[in-house]
Amino acid sequence: MADVHTRHCCVLHGCKYGDNDCHVANGKVPQDCACESCGDEGINTLEELKFEQLSSVIRIKSTDKKFMSDLIDFLDSYKEIPDSTIVTIGGD
């Protein structure tokens, strides 16, 4: 559903029009592209925006010791997966 909000508002920077019920700023509808404020900050694609959102959550939550401990455990668990468990689709 493309509209003025999906083209100009941002889940990170908010509603360009100051609408408290903006469906993009509230995360209910995905935005079509990075907003003007994103571009000013060097965020040029939706992938870069997603990375920035995740980074923001980690920065905010980094003061929460349990969150950081759980995050480290989660990331460390990927190191423990043996290569033999990795399946190649279409491989021999």
pLDDT, tens only, 19-57: 999 998 888 888 888 888 888 888 888 888 887 777 776
Neighbouring CB atoms inside 10 A of 16's CB total: 18
Residue 17 has pLDDT above 90, yes or no: yes
pLDDT in tens, 62-73: 667 777 777 777
State how many domains the chain has: 1
- Assess if residue 23 is contained within a domain: yes
Residue 88 has pLDDT above 50, yes or no: no
- Assess if residue 69 is contained within a domain: yes
Q: HSE on the CB side for 76, CA within 13 Å?
A: 6
- Assess if residue 92 is contained within a domain: no
Amino acid at 56: S
28: domain range? 4-83
- Assess if residue 91 is contained within a domain: no
pLDDT the model gives residue 16? 93
